[in-house]
Amino acid sequence: DTGVSQNPRHKITKRGQNVTFRCDPISEHNRLYWYRQTLGQGPEFLTYFQNEAQLEKSRLLSDRFSAERPKGSFSTLEIQRTEQGDSAMYLCASSGPTGGSRNEQFFGPGTRLTVL
Amino acid sequence: GIQVEQSPPDLILQEGANSTLRCNFSDSVNNLQWFHQNPWGQLINLFYIPSGTKQNGRLSATTVATERYSLLYISSSQTTDSGVYFCAVEGYSTLTFGKGTMLLVSP
């Protein structure tokens, strides 16, 4: 399977705990995106990497959220001191290839976070 | 930022019927994609269509960039077509999604 993969698929945590999600993009893609989707809404952009550089962050990304892509391959999204309002589906997408002008994004299966 | 409006919000069809889903957007875009979200939440790429017309089996899409809208046509609908259809547009580098059209196809 050469698609975007995300782990874990589900995460249940208690309010105040920290959680970390991982995304592995399609191997030749140099761009990686994180989105959040709540019930009944479309996905909303959180942050975007080109290779290892974080180029854009949404205002939705509070100080409790941090994302990394240390070697320009996989990425992690950490949420510190989780709140019930963080409960959502967290989606990762990737696009590329390097040098291409076509920016079609492909999405992973998502990580569903429930904060109790 | 760019605004994306999809219509209708909900659609119920009998199997075999045809439908048209619409996506209006508020500004010039570099990219437009249509997705189908299955019941498990996976977004499945249907079309990458910043302009023009494309067809893939029973599905086709048309984007008129100068008039800032796109249409997704589903012909001879099947129960497996049920789910949420999203239009998403890219202004600079990231996608802005509409709220989706929830489609239910009954046997």
Q: What is the DSSP letter of B74?
A: E
**Cβ contact A13:A72 at 8 Å:** no
- What is the C-alpha separation between A35 and A32, in angstroms, rounded? 10
What percent of chain A clears pLDDT 70, i.e. is strictly above it? 95
Q: Which phi-psi region, left, alpha or beta, contains residue B70 (left: φ > 0; alpha: ψ -120 to 50)? A: beta
- The helix (H) or strand (E) run that includes residue A50 is strand A44-50
The stretch B10-32 carries a mean pLDDT of: 96
Residues in chain A whose Cβ is within 8 Å of chain B:
31, 33, 35, 37, 40-45, 48, 55-56, 89, 91, 93, 102-107, 109-110, 112
Model pLDDT for residues B83-104, shown as the tens digit of each residue: 999 999 998 778 999 999 999 9
Cβ of B48 within 8 Å of Cβ of A55? The answer is no
Model pLDDT for residues A5-40, shown as the tens digit of each residue: 999 999 999 999 999 999 999 988 999 999 999 999
Parallel/antiparallel/unpaired status of strands A44-50 and A53-57: antiparallel
**Cβ contact A79:A86 at 8 Å:** yes
How far is the first Cα of chain B from the last one, in angstroms, to the nearest whole number? 40
CB-CB: which of A43, A103, A112 is closest to B97? A43
Amino acid at B81: D
d(CA A110, nearest CA chain B) in Å = 7
pLDDT higher than threshold 80 for residue A98: no
Cβ of A103 within 8 Å of Cβ of B42? The answer is no
Question: Which token pair is A40?
Answer: 């009944």
**Cβ contact A87:A112 at 8 Å:** no
Question: Which token pair is A12?
Answer: 């249940």
CB-CB: which of A41, A56, A103 is closest to B31? A103
A97 prior amide bond cis, ω within 30 = yes
pLDDT higher than threshold 80 for residue B30: yes
